[in-house]
Amino acid sequence: MANDISFLTGINDPNLKMDKSGVENTGNYKVIHLVKTGTCYCPVCGRPMLKNGYRRQPVKILALPIANVPTILLIRKQKYICKPSSQCPETVTKIAEINGINHGCRIANNVKQAITLDLRRNESQKDIGEQYYVSPSTVGRIIDSLEDNFTPEKSWLPNTIAFDDFKSGRFAPSGMSMILMNPVNHRTIDIIPSRTSRAFRQYFYRHFTRRARLSVSLVVIDLYGPYRRLIRELFPNARIIADHFHVVVQAYRALQSIRIKTMNHYGPGTHEYRALKRFW
Ligand SMILES: [Zn+2]
């Protein structure tokens, strides 16, 4: 069962089990009823705590949509108690916590991660929010919290780095920010709030040693030009390559424009027009 839950929700917590009511379809959204139990150790004496019933209200957590249907987890949480003893002078109580859901947060961590990754697709906060059934201001808060999550090591940069800009709304004065990534392991290294050349240069001189910059041998960037000279200055040992995502987008656009030109050349009502319109 635990595997099914991880398969459905992407949340890997072996002590998260399906509840009696299972999965419910309300028409507008899916509800997955879960129970979180398992052994819990006392934070004071370290011994296993006694199970003490369940929290009265199940917690409601937003999960990743399943087949484009918004999905909510209703989780009944086990309560625990450690009664006073010689090792544990006072009564200690706890409520089960869930791997992959932060305490007090109503959105699963993997939803926040998916939103962070989608930022590079350059959609508005509203569009991204709609996709995950959260408000644009929630997307904004997730962006705001990114800055605190990254404290890059000053003296080190990976061999290969990648940049991408994304719409960040009120996070940056220009509304656009840069994301600095390690494309090999797909980890985000840092968020650069502004994407102006000046901010970009300042950021690297301020945050990384010369040695760290010299160690970079490959920079992956979109096809947009202006940063290239700056990248040569900042990473003199690096070769610059175009991000395959951007190459694919360019090729796709070029193909689309030829398709439409060809369609119009034959004119509506012709076999060629229909073929290119419907079966392209
Ligand atoms: Zn205890």
Determine how many CB atoms are found less than 10 A away from the CB of residue 86: 6
> What separation in Å is there between the alpha carbon of 77 and the centre of ligand 1?
19
Residue 33 tokens read as 């009823």
- Say yes or no to pLDDT of 188 above 50: yes
Q: Within the chain, where are the H helices?
A: 2-9, 109-118, 125-132, 136-149, 197-207, 210-214, 227-234, 244-266, 271-278
Please write the tens of the pLDDT for every residue from 195-220.
Answer: 788 888 888 888 888 999 999 999 98
CB 9 within 8 A of CB 51: no
> What separation in Å is there between the alpha carbon of 36 and the centre of ligand 1?
21
> What separation in Å is there between the alpha carbon of 92 and the centre of ligand 1?
6
Please write the tens of the pLDDT for every residue from 29-87.
Answer: 899 999 999 999 998 999 999 999 999 999 999 999 988 899 999 999 999 999 999 98
Residues near ion ligand 1 (CB < 5 Å) are 42, 44-45, 82, 88, 92
Q: What's residue 229's pLDDT? A: 86
Q: What's residue 59's pLDDT? A: 94
Q: What's residue 51's pLDDT? A: 96
